[in-house]
Each structure stands twice: as structure tokens, then as C-alpha cells.
Amino acid sequence: MAPTAPKSGLFVGLNKGHIVITKELLLAPARKGFIFVRSLIREVAGFAPYEKRITEHLKFGKDKRALKVDKQIKATSEKKDEL
């Protein structure tokens, strides 16, 4: 996508549109309770089948294959770090 020109404030023309100042979103701090609950659920429920498969690949030193399996499932970067 090409970079957009700044808006002119007019409703007609090439750079038409209302001028808006966007606020930066603040990231909420990680809560201890949230982390605890997530670890408790992981302990009770265990790993998903695809996560077990990835850990098996990592145990045998097949890092490249583990990443390929991970890409197919489209796991988030947090899960990659966790595994």
C-alpha cells in the first residue's frame, strides 16, 4: 500500500478527508492472575496435538521441521516461544 498524503480537511479533491490525530494505544501490564490462570489451564488440559508434535520434533533436533509444522498451524509467536 502506498503512503497516503496528509489530509487537507476539505471534502473534495485528492487529499480529501477530515484531519484526525490518532492516539497511541497504551499496552496494559501483564497481570499476575492472568499468567497464573493460563499456566493452570496448561497444567490441567495439557498440550494440543499439534503442540505435542512440535515438541517431539524439537526433542530430536529437527528445528526446521518444527517450524514448518508451526507455520501450517499458524501458531502465534507467543506459542512458539513457549514451546
How far is 54 from 39, CA to CA, in rounded Å? Answer: 19
Using pLDDT thresholds of 50, 70 and 90, give the confidence band for residue 39.
confident
User: Quick check: pTM over 0.85?
Assistant: no
Cell of 67: 517450524
Radius of gyration (Cα) for the chain, nearest Å?
Answer: 22
Over the chain, what is the mean pLDDT? Answer: 82
Using pLDDT thresholds of 50, 70 and 90, give the confidence band for residue 76.
low
Cα 78 to the chain's mean position, in Å? Answer: 7
- Taking CA 21 as the corner, what is the angle to CA 16 and CA 22, rounded to the nearest 5 degrees? 115
How far is 65 from 54, CA to CA, in rounded Å? Answer: 8
